[in-house]
Chains A and B, each alone.
Chain A
């Protein structure tokens, strides 16, 4: 079993891991020749299936496995991975490989990075720390003794330049992330949910905005909660086929609604459908008019964790099955290929009204 790759797009990778880590601490990672699939399935709350093409985050990718499909399944803690990616964020280059340390499987990330020997951050200490650097040991000596008559001969200038050069060394950082190699048999029973065709599909407004308002509603609910009410307030999310999204909070004492208009209901691609477009539920909803809403209820706190995916800056399409399910498709564009996109699918935990 062999897995080795260089990392690229570390920022994107890091943001995705951060978003997933807010939902669940441990992920199932499935590697094959073309895809990296990262799945988190919390005990309670929304589950995520992120299927990335290898080229999005990896380069010079090598995978070898005894499995017929050449796949490796790993169980991986997201926190340490996120921390390691943070280390790699400003690196010159970084690679990742599956290895063993003391008999324990590890994903080992090797990072080549520099330190900045920049100006003092903040105030300088004491009556001035300058005296110290001048008194620094010049143990390397000066190879060329400047001519006493040379007006440009300045020993200290040469010394400091030489020292600055010496600082430019790379440091090699190794971050070992503990992993568990999973037997294919144990994971083949985990299936991606299958959902019926949605009633409404709509592109969400900027997630930062949606998240800020959703969080505010959730906080309101927590504040307004009386004894009986749970501390897991539910938000009501609705959308129609006329570009509107509605977020609503109802408690015993208050009823607040926020509505976005002018959003896009993307066109369906008939070739991707198992039924004629005319029979598609969304066509039915559209014909029913702008007052026909598909509604689901979500847990405010879980929804907040879901919206954390906004940090990826991708386009997000929400698919509503009325009183049944909500799925978010987050499109992650490739930096080097504007036509290619990968999809992160959120199966949002929803509640009946």
Chain B
């Protein structure tokens, strides 16, 4: 008998995929934890400053969900999988307008996990498409208890709730190259400020131009009325990573629900959560410490902020205690995963500080086979031709401007014709 057996509908597979895609922005691996009443996916980023937990209710989210357990895993089963592999399984098939392609969408997805003495440790996913094709995937996993971040809700006196879509749209105003988001309140003005900033660039050329190379400093003031619930200490500054926040909102706007946050003081974790039908999404982020926050007002606070942002979350005390000492079977050496490597970010928000970000890909018009150009008023069309290589202008015969009205030829020994 399988340890765990569940079926996802087409919608369920999509939600599952979205959740994994969100996690992939934080981590390469995900821990799956199955119990009688729920399935939990958790991930911790490499610097242990962000913890993600998605909980799927057994009776509401799945078309079918059977947790059998076995002698070894009586109450819960857990394993660790690579997100990349799972993403490709639950990837949404193109369900275009054409009738023949529509059928390649997922009809349902059966997942079976088997493990135990004398059995192969495998996750087997059978994806049944509308066009009659069934794809079976078999994934190896590592049996590894999940690490849960600890969050003391009683300690978190500050909280607010707002539409995730509103928040997501506000984030569009933040330019590239910013690293930190300071959320602060002003009770007198009845405002919540979202301030994005990046500390002074490291002096590269040491020139005066450096002042002009700072990224845009953006502040968004939102009236407290806009929030559904808000209880926050006046003038409290809480600072988190923009990249993490963006990744969360990217996912939250899909569910379209209200996003709720809980936090206490700088340097203590902040919890963000929102839910969909049968799904609860929770994130715990470490905030930048108070000392560092005050230092941010001074000249070069970058190191402090960065260091502090990496401060790991506390692992929950039950991390290992609930696992019987001898219980975890020795994983098959072939299944043993490599040491975690720095993840490949899916979308890199943080560009190189200098030089300025590379120009966008060459415009479509330049790639097209036709000389004729589309009429659409696409801004891309006006982008210059790719100038990826160095501006190594050959100075051989360039004419110079001056204010006399006569051309000045740059002298060159390579002058031909």
List residues of A whose CB falls within 8 A of some B CB: 18-19, 22, 25-26, 43-45, 47, 75-77, 79-80, 83-84, 87, 101, 104, 106, 111, 115-118, 120-133, 136-137, 139, 166-167, 169-180, 191-196, 208-209, 211-213, 215-216, 218-219, 230-232, 299-301, 304-305, 307-308, 310-311, 324-325, 347, 349-353
Which 10 A-B pairs have CB atoms at the shortest separation, nearest pair first? Answer: A126-B276, A304-B385, A126-B277, A125-B255, A305-B384, A176-B217, A193-B401, A127-B277, A311-B382, A212-B373
Using A126-B11, A169-B225, A212-B373 as known contacts, say yes or no to A132 and B169 having CB atoms under 8 A apart: no
Interface residues of B in 303-324 (CB under 8 A from A): none
A232 touching B254, Cβ below 8 Å = no
Residues in A whose Cβ lies below 8 Å from that of B275: 132
B175 touching A80, Cβ below 8 Å = yes
A117 touching B165, Cβ below 8 Å = yes
Q: Is B14 an interface residue (CB 8 A)?
A: yes
User: What does the 1/0 interface line of B377-417 toward A look like (CB < 8 Å)?
Assistant: 00101111101010111100111011111110100000001
B170 touching A219, Cβ below 8 Å = no
B401 touching A347, Cβ below 8 Å = yes
| Known A127-B11, A129-B257, A230-B394; 19 more pairs at CB < 8 Å | A19-B382, A80-B175, A104-B211, A117-B163, A126-B11, A129-B277, A132-B257, A133-B258, A137-B161, A166-B225, A169-B223, A171-B222, A173-B221, A180-B211, A212-B365, A212-B366, A213-B371, A218-B385, A232-B393
B258 touching A132, Cβ below 8 Å = yes
Residues in B whose Cβ lies below 8 Å from that of A349: 398-399
Q: Which residue of A lies closest to B217 (CB)?
A: A176
State in angstroms the CA–CA spacing of A104 and B406 once bound together: 41
Using A75-B212, A172-B220 as known contacts, say yes or no to A215 and B393 having CB atoms under 8 A apart: no
Residues in A whose Cβ lies below 8 Å from that of B337: none
Partner of A180, one of B212, B278, B356, B371: B212
State in angstroms the CA–CA spacing of A246 and B256 once bound together: 55
Residues in A whose Cβ lies below 8 Å from that of B401: 47, 193, 325, 347
> Nearest Cβ distance between residue A216 and chain B, in whole angstroms?
6
Using A117-B165, A176-B216, A304-B384 as known contacts, say yes or no to A83 and B175 having CB atoms under 8 A apart: yes
State in angstroms the CA–CA spacing of A309 and B52 once bound together: 46
> Nearest Cβ distance between residue B166 and chain A, in whole angstroms?
5
Residues in A whose Cβ lies below 8 Å from that of B172: 87
> Nearest Cβ distance between residue A68 and chain B, in whole angstroms?
23
State in angstroms the CA–CA spacing of A111 and B366 once bound together: 36
Using A173-B219, A231-B392 as known contacts, say yes or no to A127 and B60 having CB atoms under 8 A apart: yes
Residues in A whose Cβ lies below 8 Å from that of B212: 26, 75-77, 178-180
Interface of B is mostly: mixed
State in angstroms the CA–CA spacing of A311 and B226 once bound together: 37
Residues in A whose Cβ lies below 8 Å from that of B394: 230, 232
Interface residues of B in 252-279 (CB under 8 A from A): 253-258, 275-279
> Nearest Cβ distance between residue B254 and chain A, in whole angstroms?
5
Interface of A is mostly: mixed
B366 touching A215, Cβ below 8 Å = yes
State in angstroms the CA–CA spacing of A84 and B393 once bound together: 32
B256 touching A125, Cβ below 8 Å = yes
A83 touching B219, Cβ below 8 Å = no
Residues in B whose Cβ lies below 8 Å from that of A215: 362-363, 365-366, 385
Category for how many chain B residues contact A: 35 or more
Residues in A whose Cβ lies below 8 Å from that of B211: 104, 178, 180
A123 touching B215, Cβ below 8 Å = no
Q: Which residue of A lies closest to B254 (CB)?
A: A125
Residues in B whose Cβ lies below 8 Å from that of A104: 211
B389 touching A231, Cβ below 8 Å = yes
Residues in A whose Cβ lies below 8 Å from that of B397: 351-352
Q: Is B15 an interface residue (CB 8 A)?
A: yes
State in angstroms the CA–CA spacing of A137 and B417 once bound together: 81
Using A83-B216, A180-B212 as known contacts, say yes or no to A132 and B382 having CB atoms under 8 A apart: no
Q: Is B141 an interface residue (CB 8 A)?
A: no
State in angstroms the CA–CA spacing of A212 and B66 once bound together: 60
B217 touching A209, Cβ below 8 Å = no
Q: Which residue of B lies closest to A118 (CB)?
A: B165
> Nearest Cβ distance between residue B41 and chain A, in whole angstroms?
14
Q: Is B214 an interface residue (CB 8 A)?
A: yes
A139 touching B229, Cβ below 8 Å = yes
Using A26-B212, A126-B279, A175-B216 as known contacts, say yes or no to A196 and B366 having CB atoms under 8 A apart: no
Q: Which residue of A lies closest to B169 (CB)?
A: A115
B371 touching A126, Cβ below 8 Å = no
Using A176-B216, A180-B208, A193-B401 as known contacts, say yes or no to A122 and B254 having CB atoms under 8 A apart: yes
Residues in B whose Cβ lies below 8 Å from that of A175: 173, 175, 216-218
Q: Which residue of B lies closest to A163 (CB)?
A: B228
B409 touching A352, Cβ below 8 Å = yes
Partner of B373, one of A118, A208, A299: A208
B384 touching A301, Cβ below 8 Å = yes
Partner of B166, one of A117, A179, A192, A211: A117
Q: Is B213 an interface residue (CB 8 A)?
A: yes
Q: Which residue of A lies closest to B228 (CB)?
A: A137
Interface residues of B in 146-195 (CB under 8 A from A): 161, 163, 165-166, 169-170, 172-173, 175-176
